[in-house]
Structures are given as C-alpha cells and as structure tokens.
C-alpha cells in the first residue's frame, strides 16, 4: 500500500514522525508527575495521520521495532531535561515478543543517561495476559533493571478485575471509556473505585485517562486515584513546549 511506502520513507529521515508528550498530573496538588509519549505523523500531502492508523500498518510491515526504538530514544533524550518526572512509552505486542527488546531498552537508558526508575513502559491488557515466553522474559528483565511497567487501557480487554491480583506490573491506567461516564453513570464509578481499591491493595499506582471535566477531576481525586491524564490539563505537545512547561511547574 502507498501509505506503507510513505511510512518506510518517513522513518528513514527524522522530523516527519515525532513523539509529542502529554502531561500526567498528581490528582492531589496537580503537579506534573510525568508524561506519555504519543507519536504524531505529519504527512506532507495528507496532513496529520493518527497512530491508530499507522501503528497497525507498521506492525504488519515489520517496521514497528524501528519505530519503537526511535520513540524510546527520542523520549528518553527529551525526558533527561524533565527532572523527577517519569516518561511513559507505549510498547506494542510484536515489540515485546522480540527477544532483544529489554536489552535494546537497556542500551538506550545507558546512552541517554536516563535513570531506569524514570522510564515506564505501557503495555496493553492483551499483551499482559499473554505474559508467557519471550514477552514475560522481557518484562521481568525490565523490572529487574528498575524500569516500571504500566497496564494501559485497563478494563477494555478480556481480563477480569481478579486478574489484577496476578499481573506483575507497577501501574494501572484506567481506560478513558470508564472515566467518560464517571460521575453521571453510577456503574462506571463503581468499577473505577473497585480498580483503585484492588490496585492499591497490591501496591500499584493508578492513573485515570481521558479526564476532561472538573467533576471527573475532583471525583477521581476524592476516591484516591493517584494520577490524572486528559484534555482538562493538556493534550500531547511537542518537546520544546514541554521544556517550558516543566520550568514553569518547578
Ligand atoms: O494519541 P492518540 O493520540 O491518538 O494515540 C492513539 C493510539 O496510538 C493510542 O492507543 C496510543 O497508545 C497509540 N500510540 C501512540 N504512540 C505510540 C507509540 O509510540 N507506540 C505504540 N505502540 N503505540 C502508540
Ligand atoms: O496509549 P493510549 O491508548 O492510552 O493513548 C492515549 C490516547 O488518548 C491518545 O489517543 C490521546 O491523544 C488520547 N487522549 C488523551 N487525553 C484525552 C482526553 O481527555 N479525551 C480523549 N477523548 N482522548 C484523550
Ligand atoms: Mn498509553
Ligand atoms: Na490508554
């Protein structure tokens, strides 16, 4: 497909595909605790193309490793300038399934000088459920180095709340579909409370995604959610803007 050829070309030279960074705030106090790297592709003819579209293409075309390594290197380099904040980077299933993944992450940490404790790798519930074989070994090596693991879009996969008891992760990110109805749909609030309670019982931290309203922000803080991410604070922004944001936040 044409888009695949363009993707391949765009990855050869930097600039067209770059990570933006979305701030993540403490629910209490609202200081910035970290950022999530989210890829943005500005196609010269087609304009902005969503990662929802090009990530699957990259996976099928065998380009995801190269792409993932690029994001990781750029994000870790940028995050060195953001003291005490974590940097979260999404990893897709095929990346995790590659035997060299953890070692590549380690190499990037060495080169950039970012402390491993400041890096968080976000994996989906599906990838976490398949914590077998190579993916499990990669995750175990990463955690042994001090890198944190977060489970992304929690609640959308097939795992039950009970699965939370077994997952070897450091953080749970509650999918924004549960945050959307928070406050006006009782059922969503019950689920969110249950996730927070179970996660805390295991010593995991919890982030709510897609926080858009004051009611959601305050309600989530009240029930003990640790961190909040969403348009009420900021969308993802380019690194130079984040540099200035961190200066103002300190
Ligand atoms: O930023 P939103 O902007 O539209 O991102 C859409 C989807 O693309 C999200 O599910 C997000 O996790 C995914 N995504 C964004 N950047 C990356 C990336 O660097 N790697 C992977 N694997 N997924 C990403
Ligand atoms: O990795 P993940 O699938 O969680 O990607 C986060 C996605 O959520 C990205 O597409 C990001 O742009 C989007 N996002 C972040 N904050 C908000 C928000 O407040 N509302 C909505 N609708 N989307 C958001
Ligand atoms: Mn994510
Ligand atoms: Na998510």
Q: Which two tokens stand for residue 211?
A: 């926080």
Closest atom, ligand 1, to C-alpha of 152: 12
Structure confidence at residue 157 as a pLDDT band (50, 70, 90): confident
Model pLDDT, residue 52: 96
Q: Where are the alpha helices (DSSP H) in the chain?
A: 2-12, 51-60, 64-79, 93-96, 101-112, 125-129, 133-145, 176-180, 186-201, 214-222, 239-249
Q: What's the pLDDT score for residue 201?
A: 95
Reduced to 3 states (helix: H, G, I; strand: E, B; else coil), residue 81 is coil
pLDDT at 223 over 80: yes
129 pLDDT exceeds 70?
no
The closest of 108, 124, 100, 86 to 226, measured between CA atoms, is: 86
Q: Does residue 131 have a pLDDT over 70? A: no
ipTM above 0.95, yes or no: yes
Summarize pLDDT for 105-121 with one digit per residue, the tens.
Answer: 999 999 999 999 999 99
Q: Give the whole-angstrom CA distance, residue 184 versus residue 12.
A: 47
Alpha helices in 117-238 (DSSP H): 125-129, 133-145, 176-180, 186-201, 214-222
> Which ligand neighbours the alpha carbon of 51 most closely?
1
- Say which ligand is closest to the CA of 38: 1
* CATH architecture for residues 2-249: Alpha-Beta Barrel (3.20)
**Per-residue pLDDT at 56 exceeds 80:** yes
Calculate mean pLDDT across residues 195-202: 96
pLDDT at residue 169, rounded to an integer = 94
The mean per-residue pLDDT over the stretch 6-22 comes to: 92
pLDDT digits (tens, 9 = 90+) for 34-52: 999 999 999 999 999 999 9
Q: Quote the pLDDT of residue 127.
A: 75
Q: Is the dihedral of CA 35, 177, 122, 58 positive or negative?
A: negative
Q: Domain segments of the chain: what residues?
A: 2-249
pLDDT per residue as tens digits for the range 170-188: 999 999 999 998 888 888 9
Measured by CA distance, the residue closest to atom 9 of ligand 1 is: 52
Nearest CA to ligand 2 atom 13: 210
Give 81 Cα–ligand 2 centroid separation in angstroms. Answer: 24
Structure token digits, residue 89: 């980077």
158: pLDDT strictly greater than 90: no
Instruction: Name the pLDDT band for 101 (thresholds 50, 70, 90).
Output: very high
pLDDT band at residue 130 using 50, 70 and 90 as cut-offs: low
Q: Which residues line ligand 2 (CB under 6 A)?
A: 22, 38, 90, 152-153, 176, 209-212, 229-231, 236
To test the ligand 1 pocket, which listed residue (17, 20, 23, 39) has its Cβ within 8 A of the most ligand atoms? 39
């Amino acid at each position: 497909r044409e888009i695949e050829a363009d993707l391949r070309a765009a990855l050869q030279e930097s600039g067209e595909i770059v990570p933006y960074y979305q701030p993540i705030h403490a629910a209490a106090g609202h200081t910035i605790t970290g950022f999530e790297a989210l890829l943005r592709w500005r196609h010269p003819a087609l304009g902005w193309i969503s990662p929802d579209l090009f990530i699957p293409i990259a996976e099928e075309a065998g380009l995801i490793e190269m792409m993932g390594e690029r994001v990781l290197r750029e994000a870790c380099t940028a995050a060195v300038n953001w003291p005490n904040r974590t940097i979260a980077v999404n990893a897709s299933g095929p990346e995790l399934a590659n035997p060299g993944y953890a070692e590549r992450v380690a190499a990037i940490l060495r080169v950039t000088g970012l402390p491993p404790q400041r890096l968080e790798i976000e994996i989906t519930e599906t990838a976490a459920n398949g914590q077998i074989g190579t993916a499990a070994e990669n995750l175990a090596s990463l955690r042994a180095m001090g890198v944190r693991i977060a489970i992304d879009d929690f609640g959308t996969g097939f795992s039950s709340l009970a699965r939370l008891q077994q997952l070897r992760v450091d953080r749970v990110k509650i999918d924004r579909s549960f945050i959307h109805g928070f406050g006006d749909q009782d059922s969503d609030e019950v689920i969110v409370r249950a996730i927070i309670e179970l996660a805390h019982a295991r010593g995991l931290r919890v982030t709510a995604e897609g926080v858009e309203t004051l009611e959601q922000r305050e309600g989530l803080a009240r029930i003990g959610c640790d961190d909040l991410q969403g348009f009420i604070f900021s969308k993802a922004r380019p690194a130079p803007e984040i540099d200035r944001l961190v200066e103002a936040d300190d």
